[in-house]
Amino acid sequence: MDSIERNARAVLLPAIDSLDLTDDLKCYFDEGGRSLLLGETRAEYVSRRMSDARRASERAEDFRRLAGEVASRADRVMIALDQEPAGIERLHGLAPSFGDRAELLSMQDEAIRQRAQEIGRRARELGVGMFLGPVVDVLTGRNPWLHGRTLDTDALQVARLTRAFISGVQSAGVVATAKHFPGHPNIEGDPAIELADVRGTAEDLLPGFDVFRSAIQAGVRAIMTGPTLVPAVDPEYPSSRSGKTINLLRHDFGFTGIIVSDDIDAVGMLRDLSDSETAVAALKAGADLILLPATRTGEIARHIVSAVRSGDLAEHRLADAIRNVETNSDALVVQ
């Protein structure tokens, strides 16, 4: 297997909703894969809570077993999961919690930082190295997609909580991911399952922009782009495959960390493309890690290889993405 084929797998972030590797995922890691998202079921995602069955059955040793198996097959592995303050907590009772939003808002910065550090430390013990969190979108209107996952409607409060969470998590050696750039203050539907665009003007995005700038100043190592159109930034392409959006993040905001796409099979993301075409479009736009269902890993990797060999996707884009992930995960210092 040549370097293009291995690199095509190294830019993928396949999601599973269990703690078991399928034969296809074993091949993925054997053939160059480096990342894995320990996700949740759709029902758990919607309810913002892990199921009773999962909470009763999953143990710390199950996470460590999976991490050990992955490490035996691949180098420089990154295992990620959703661990959001006041949102989805994939680690359920295996790590401390922030409780409800009211409790989180009442906490002082140092208390948030210390608890986030302890959550990160527990995660590292389980083999986890990346959190897809915090959610930093500042809501000013409706947002059924992020209902129950956002921190506050006050941008200053969101920025405060975000900085403390990032500081604590990353001091434990876990990459924090602020999401979902450029912000979704007002959206009528759920872009995961329907066409739903962000409403409003560029001015409506400014409070959320301030939070992302604050997260970058706090040293956040990763940012996830959103799954749908934000016409005030780019009226043509969804954020995760928008060169305008990623250039804004890189050049105007000065972000040098890891850019993670949102789910490439989201209805709001696909529009007129297949998921394989969407993956290539996201890489061309500047994404470093492509979030996708684990069942599509092989087919999408093959499509990326074909895009490189046809000249549609520059080979150096894969190498740059891999280097960016390595640089920003290796740079964390565990205290």
For the chain, give percent helix, strand, coil, nearest 5: 50, 10, 40
What is the model's pLDDT at position 91? 96
Give the bridge partners for 14, in sequence order: 292
- Residues 49-103 have pLDDT tens digits of 999 999 999 999 999 999 999 999 998 899 999 999 988 999 999 999 988 888 8
Q: Tokens standing for 250? A: 């890189």
| pLDDT above 70 as % of the chain | 98
Query: Residue 144's pLDDT band (boundaries 50, 70, 90)?
Result: confident
Q: Options 3.40.50.720, 3.65.10.10, 3.20.20.300, 3.40.50.300; which CATH number does 3-330 get? A: 3.20.20.300
- Residue 148 binned pLDDT confidence (cut-offs 50, 70, 90): confident
Domain boundaries, the chain: 3-330
Confidence of residue 333 (pLDDT cuts 50, 70, 90): very low
Pairwise CA distance, residues 60 & 94, whole Å: 7
Name 209's Cβ contacts closer than 8 Å, sequence gap at least 6: 182, 183, 253
Q: How far apart are CA 164 and CA 326, in angstroms?
A: 24
Q: For residues 173 and 141, what is the distance between their CA atoms, to the nearest angstrom?
A: 35
Distance CA 324, CA 218 (A): 18
Q: Is 173 helix (H, G, I), strand (E, B) or coil?
A: coil
| Residue 331 confidence (pLDDT) | 62
Looking at residue 46, its pLDDT comes to 87
Distance CA 228, CA 271 (A): 9
Per-residue pLDDT at 175: 97
Sign of the Cα torsion 310, 312, 313, 315 reads positive
pLDDT tens digits, residue range 291-321? 999 999 999 999 999 999 999 999 999 999 9
pLDDT at 191 over 60: yes
Q: What is the pLDDT of residue 300?
A: 97
Residue 332's pLDDT band, with cuts at 50, 70 and 90, is: low
Considering only 95-99, 110-114, 123-127, 218-222, which range has the smallest mean pLDDT?
95-99
| C-alpha to C-alpha distance for 107 and 125, rounded to whole angstroms | 26
* pLDDT for 150: 83
pLDDT at 335: 39
User: Is it the case that residue 267 has pLDDT exceeding 60?
Assistant: yes
Which has the closest alpha carbon to 36: 222, 261, 294? Answer: 294
Give the pLDDT score at 264: 95
Contact 264, 277 (CB under 8 A): no
Q: What is the mean pLDDT of the segment spanning 207-226?
A: 97
Measuring CA to CA, which residue among 84, 70, 59, 93 is closest to residue 14? 70
Cβ-contact 288, 258 below 8 angstroms: yes
Q: How confident is the model at residue 2 (pLDDT cuts 50, 70, 90)?
A: confident
pLDDT at residue 252 in the model:
96
- How far is Cα 34 from Cα 8, in angstroms, rounded to an integer? 11
pLDDT at 270 over 90: yes
3-state secondary structure (DSSP) of residue 35: strand
**Residue type (1 letter), 202:** A
β partners of residue 189: none
Encoding tokens for residue 54?
Answer: 């999962």
Task: For 16-62, write each residue's pLDDT tens digit.
Answer: 999 999 999 999 999 999 999 999 999 999 888 999 999 999 999 99
